[in-house]
Amino acid sequence: MLAKDLRINELIQRDPKTGFPQYGGQRLLITGVATLKRFYEDLYNIIGPERSAILFTRMGYDNGLAGGLALKNMYEFESPVQLIKALQIVTPMVGMAREVNSRFEYHPEKNIFFYTGEWMHSFESLIWNLHQTGNSSTPLCHMLCGLAGGYFSAVTGRDVLVKELSCRAQGNECCRFEARPIEEWDEEKDFFHEIIRADSLDQELEFLRSELNRSQEFLKKQQQEIQRLKQRTCRPGTVEHGLIYRSPQMAKLIELAEIAAPNDSTILIQGESGTGKELIARYIHECSKRCDYPFLAINCAAIPGTLIESELFGHEKGAFTGAEKSKPGLFIEAGNGTIFLDEIGELPFEVQAKLLRVLQQKEVMPLGSTRKKTVSARTIAATNQDLTQMVTDGKFRKDLFYRVSVFPLFITPLRQRREDILVLARHFLSRLNDSHPGFTPEAVRRLQKYDWPGNVRELENCVEYAFILSRNLPIQLEHLPVSINLDTDESFAGMISDFPTPKDLIKRYAKQVVNHTEGNKTKAAKLMGVSVPTLWRYLQE
């Protein structure tokens, strides 16, 4: 075998069983230079330039040694000279550099070995250039020197040290290096021994161990801090109650809810529809000492005014037409639990008076009965209306308002806490299929931009809709409901929101069509039914 006859794609093969790339029977790991750059930087910062130089050289040396020995075993080379020349194939093969202008002398019988050459595009000089803009004061291609040294040591059977004389990282055109047996070098001997001697590794380990301890201390402190922050923004238990959030507004709300939970005061939850008022009410119930008793919810808007009274307070048999059986009513059924009165603003005026009495006296008198029953349930009310305004308008009793709003909570609409949108969307998606591949970046942007007038409930419906359309592929724009796709700044409504002149409007419209055709003006003109020059005119006006 001659060096020039080596083929990289034959040297690097795939393991038929695992598919892993391998060279000379050893599995290879492919790492990007940009990734390595991080590693170089970290190591430089942690253990300093001298120690990193030793480690990188040693890594290269071991690599070169193994690579050289493998090559020696792989083929029958015509002469040892061919094996030495083969380094010119190995160096680019592993992606480290391209070797040029090499010159060498090798006379084993006279103990002569000398090799010199140049590296073009050394990956280490590239890392240095990625790392900083100024020139280095010293050569930096440690792993390359190590590789060549290890390789020559393997093929000559002597300890060979490679030194970089000048480096690209110093501002030179290329890197120049020289290889000689170790005894021919003077001051570099110690360095060489550091590289190949095992005991230096012990020192290194000792040093690294102390560094590690220091880092672990630091990490521990950081983890404590993260834990503390986590508890503040996402308390354990809130997730299982469906309370998914990242916003400070929701964190504050949950905190208030937890403070209010153990007390028995009436709570009024206000917020637009779909914000999850019942979820908060349930959470308060779960956090209270009433959690082992029932949580009964009633939507005051969903029950006809004539029936709501008996639903809430119960009735005796025959109290009214159709009352064939007596009914205890929710306040009694709830026992020591919690009653959630949703849409309390919809309660008929006369029922409001009765509710007030129940809340004040903790007693209920079922319809048609003469005996009062003691109420021990707690009341949580909710509304999406402006109760203060309703009080002013005379539609809601002032005294009841003060009675129920002892502890008011307000849920911020979703559009004012956009950081919750994605975590919620992902949560809903994972509930449908926890191995779904998720949302494309475009879909995420659209979800985060949309105003969500229907709040969390609308988002939940939207995710379910998109989930069905996506058929377990990543959710794209086209999978989102039309209403969400239309509502963007580029929509017609957005386009005319500032009352533009017709000329301006045409320009905006033309721009949007061009956006739609991804910049293809011929296509855009065709869509608009105008010629391309006309389209140009529209765009320039």
Q: Which of the ranges 136-144, 364-372, 382-390, 531-539 carries the binding residues for Zn ion, by CB under 5 A?
A: 136-144
- Paired with 176 in beta bridges are 118, 166
Q: Of residues 198-237, which lie at the interface with Zn ion (CB under 5 A)?
A: none
Give me the least distance between CB of 146 and Zn ion, in Å please.
12
- 379 belongs to the binding site for Zn ion (CB under 5 A): no
State the pairing for strand pair 21-23/12-14: antiparallel
**Residue 517 and residue 527 in contact, taking contact as beta carbons nearer than 8 Å:** yes
Burial profile 452-486: b = 16 or more Cβ within 10 angstroms, e = fewer: bebbbebbbebbebbbeebeeeebbeebbeeebee
Binding Zn ion (rule: CB under 5 A), the pick from 57, 63, 125, 412 is 125
- Paired with 305 in beta bridges are none
Q: In the complex with Zn ion, which residue's Cβ is closer, 171 or 437?
A: 171
Q: In the complex with Zn ion, which residue's Cβ is closer, 179 or 462?
A: 179
Rounded to whole angstroms, how far apart are CA atoms 374 and 253?
32
In order of 87, 118, 429, 486, the CA distances from 438 in angstroms are 47, 50, 7, 22
Q: In the complex with Zn ion, which residue's Cβ is closer, 148 or 404?
A: 148
Q: Which of the ranges 78-86, 94-102, 115-123, 217-225 carries the binding residues for Zn ion, by CB under 5 A?
A: 115-123
Give me the least distance between CB of 98 and Zn ion, in Å please.
12
Q: In the complex with Zn ion, which residue's Cβ is closer, 167 or 260?
A: 167
Give me the least distance between CB of 174 and Zn ion, in Å please.
8
Rounded to whole angstroms, how far apart are CA atoms 209 and 320?
84
- Please name which of 395, 421, 379, 382 lies closest in space to residue 295, comparing C-alpha atoms: 379
Residue in the block written with tokens 């080379």 = 77
Q: Which of the ranges 109-117, 138-146, 322-330, 503-511 carries the binding residues for Zn ion, by CB under 5 A?
A: 138-146
Give me the least distance between CB of 58 and Zn ion, in Å please.
17
Give me the least distance between CB of 487 and Zn ion, in Å please.
56
- Please name which of 420, 362, 409 lies closest in space to residue 261, comparing C-alpha atoms: 409
Q: In the complex with Zn ion, which residue's Cβ is closer, 102 or 376?
A: 102
What is residue 135's DSSP assignment? P
Give me the least distance between CB of 118 and Zn ion, in Å please.
10
Give me the least distance between CB of 441 and Zn ion, in Å please.
39
What is the per-residue DSSP string for 351-403?
HHHHHHHHHHHSEE--BT----EE---EEEEEESS-HHHHHHTTSS-HHHHHH
Determine the 3-state secondary structure of 322 from DSSP: coil
Give me the least distance between CB of 120 and Zn ion, in Å please.
10
- Dihedral sign for Cα 270, 276, 279, 280, please: negative
**What would the x/- binding string for Zn ion be over residues 17 to 46, using CB under 5 A?**
------------------------------
Q: In the complex with Zn ion, which residue's Cβ is closer, 167 or 525?
A: 167
- Paired with 475 in beta bridges are 439
**What would the x/- binding string for Zn ion be over residues 140 to 179, using CB under 5 A?**
-x-------------------------xx------x----
Q: In the complex with Zn ion, which residue's Cβ is closer, 140 or 424?
A: 140
**Residue 541 and residue 506 in contact, taking contact as beta carbons nearer than 8 Å:** yes
Q: How many residues of this chain interact with Zn ion, rule: CB under 5 A?
A: 6
**Residue 376 and residue 331 in contact, taking contact as beta carbons nearer than 8 Å:** no
Determine the 3-state secondary structure of 229 from DSSP: helix
Q: In the complex with Zn ion, which residue's Cβ is closer, 175 or 267?
A: 175
Q: In the complex with Zn ion, which residue's Cβ is closer, 176 or 290?
A: 176
- Please name which of 490, 491, 515, 495 lies closest in space to residue 505, comparing C-alpha atoms: 495
Give me the least distance between CB of 169 and Zn ion, in Å please.
6
Q: In the complex with Zn ion, which residue's Cβ is closer, 125 or 247?
A: 125
Give me the least distance between CB of 148 and Zn ion, in Å please.
12
Residue ranges that bind Zn ion, judged by CB under 5 A: 122, 125, 141, 167-168, 175
